[in-house]
Amino acid sequence: MGLNGAFMEYYWPYESLAGISGGKNVGTPIEAVIQAHVQELETTFAGWEQHSADPRERLLRLLVTSHDEGNMLARYGCPHGSLCQELDKDDNQLMRIASRLFQVYLDWAEAQFRQLGKNEQEANDLAVDLISSLQGIYLLTNSFRSPELLERKLQRLEMGVRAL
């Protein structure tokens, strides 16, 4: 697969949406892409819930997934973060829709921290800390084209999760 193919697979892995065109307002295909990403996240998180009863292990799985995507993150950045950044530049309505992506991450992470015995505020704060740390390191990894930078940060995050 060529570079363009890898890029499209990473950012647009939804072949069924490729035919959406013409006659529809510009938000419709973008909303469909966002919804596909949201559903993919929800399915992934539900699978992790079924696979492990331990919320700490599920949080660590998020970090392992980031590690597994290191080269793609270094080359293209985070598809969810990039999408939200681009939509925020032009359309507030689409940005509100796209923010659902991050809300899925935050809600899921907060639920994991709650299951670890954290109160609502602490679980929320820990979720925001984790997801914002990941998004920040994804941006730096992409900016410096450095999977090694991602790996170092993921190791630090893993230590923090294990210490909970």
Give domain status of residue 158, yes or no: yes
Per-residue pLDDT tens over the stretch 64-109 = 999 999 999 999 999 898 888 887 887 678 888 888 999 999 999 9
Give domain status of residue 11, yes or no: no
Residue 96 CA to residue 126 CA, distance in Å, equals 23
Q: What is the pTM of this model?
A: 0.82
Give domain status of residue 4, yes or no: no
Give domain status of residue 49, yes or no: yes
Residue 44 near residue 36, CB atoms below 8 Å: no
Give domain status of residue 19, yes or no: no
The upper half-sphere exposure of residue 3, i.e. CA atoms within 13 Å in the direction of its Cβ, equals 2
Residue 37 near residue 102, CB atoms below 8 Å: no
Looking at residue 90, which CATH number applies to its domain?
1.10.357.10
Residue 101 CA to residue 39 CA, distance in Å, equals 9
Give domain status of residue 119, yes or no: yes
Residue 153 near residue 132, CB atoms below 8 Å: no
The parent domain of residue 42 ranges over 27-163
Q: Is 78 left (phi over 0), alpha (psi -120 to 50) or beta?
A: beta
Residue 25 scores a pLDDT above 50: no
Total tally of structural domains belonging to the chain: 1
Residue 107 CA to residue 136 CA, distance in Å, equals 19
Give domain status of residue 17, yes or no: no
Give domain status of residue 46, yes or no: yes
Between vectors from CA 98 to CA 161 and to CA 149, what angle results, nearest 5°? 40
Residue 6 scores a pLDDT above 80: no
